[in-house]
Structure 1
Amino acid sequence: MRYYLIDLMPEDNPDFCFLDSYPEGLGLKTYKLGKGQPLKDDYPADARIYMSDKEKGIQVPDLVGNSRSMLITSQRVKEVIERVNQGPTEYLRVAIYNHKKRVASPDHFILNPLGVVDCLNLRASEIEYFQGKVVHVDRLVLDPGKLEKAPELFRVRENSRAYVISDRIVDEVEKLRPGVSNFWLEELDQEPSREQGGKT
């Protein structure tokens, strides 16, 4: 099976909107969106995000670029992922408001895969550590031996802000018509770790 990293800051079209903030009303709970922790009752019922004033784009694409490492998709993409994905995930409705404080989309969703997956070949990946802790991941290389029970959408243990999807999701999303907008993916290399009995 192939797996892909989702680009959360695509630059496909300057007409597309961009977001610089979290949903209003989350307060200090915003950290949960980066860690894959459940929000449940902490999430506001009327969640809204305003388009960034730094960017002029106003069109709301299927995947909304943002600087907060949130996976924000249209309802139709969310429905495909929800149907295919069997992993624990919160699907949080959010309204996107334009620069004039008017609703541009009432039904986009923040996808919050819960938890993280130990999925990397640590030797083949490029990871920067400081005092034994991960500070940056430059290159993700998956270990196929660790993916046998991985869900179709998940976060990487060494970088919880990295979202990975399987080719099963990609195949279904590509069937949508019209085609999805602003949805950019990078196929991830896979290399068995030595401890898994594979070659490096």
Structure 2
Amino acid sequence: MKYFLFNTLGDTSNDGYCFTSDTPEGGVDSWDLIAGYRIADEYPNGIEKTVLRLEEEYPGLVLASYIGNADRMLAFRNDAAKVIIDINQNETEIIPFTLLDYKGKVRSEDYVFINPVGAVDCLNWKKSICTRDNEGNIEIYEKLVFARESLEHTPHLFRIRFNSSLYLFSELLANTLLSKGHTNLIFNDIEVT
């Protein structure tokens, strides 16, 4: 199966789309949403109401299928999230949030954060060019090369182990989202050996 690296910034060539560099307030924080851990375990009594605020310096008004953001969170509109959950069929949490404009007024209640639980060790470390910390986590990378055999039995959406804020989408999932007209989605080719 072919995979693509998802660009969490969204379509930066289209200034009309909403974008934020803000972090969530309330129930969860951005670390919860990119770590790959089961959020329900962190909040056994339930997650309190969560909001994500747009900022005045990013004037885009179009509420696309995906809200581009600088914190690498998967912020999808409900209809796109349903497609992802239906196809992925792997443990994936959904955390509803309220999207606010920069003045604090409600823009939408129709978005969720998607949290694919876990991560897959799928890199060809000999061919990838990256700097890793003492725990093996990728700090900076110039080039990521993926191991074909490690991608053979993976879900349609998953995180990359050692950098859980990077996401791979299968060709089936990416094509289904695009064919249904979902917007602000950028999928980049990956190198596989």
- Using the size of structure 2 for normalisation, the TM-score is 0.89
State yes or no: 1:157 paired with 2:161.
Answer: yes
Deviates more, 1:15-24 or 1:102-111: 15-24
Which position in structure 1 is the counterpart of 2:17?
16
**What's 1:197 paired with?**
none
Structure 1 residue 104: deviation in Å?
1.4
2:31 alignment partner, SS class: helix
2:183 equivalent among 170, 181, 187 = 181
Q: Is the 8 A contact 1:116 1:154 kept in 2?
A: yes
- The CA deviation string for residues 69-94 of structure 1, in whole angstroms up to 9 with x for no partner, is 10111111111111000221111111
- Give 5+ residue unaligned stretches, structure 2: none
Note if 1:127 corresponds to 2:130. yes
CA shift digits 1:94-151 (9 cap, x unpaired): 1111123222121111111111101111112221134563322232221111122211
Aligned partner of 1:146 among 143, 150, 154:
150
Match of 1:59 among 57, 62, 65: 62
Consecutive unaligned residues of structure 1, counting only runs of 5 or more, are: 192-200
Q: Kindly report which structure 2 residues correspond to 1:32-181, keeping only aligned pairs within 5 A, or say none.
A: 32-40=32-40, 42=43, 44-131=47-134, 133=136, 134-176=138-180, 179-181=181-183
2: CA distance between counterparts of 1:81 and 1:70?
15
Once the two structures are aligned, what percentage of the paired residues are identical? 27
Conservation of the 8 A alpha-carbon contact between 1:17 and 1:52: no
- Letter of the structure 2 residue corresponding to residue 63 of structure 1: Y
Single out whichever of 127-136 and 68-77 deviates more from structure 2: 127-136
C-alpha distance in structure 2 between counterparts of 1:86 and 1:138, whole Å: 32
Q: For the aligned residues, what is the CA RMSD?
A: 1.8
TM-score, length of structure 1 as denominator length? 0.86
Q: What is the CA distance between 1:166 and its match in structure 2?
A: 0.3
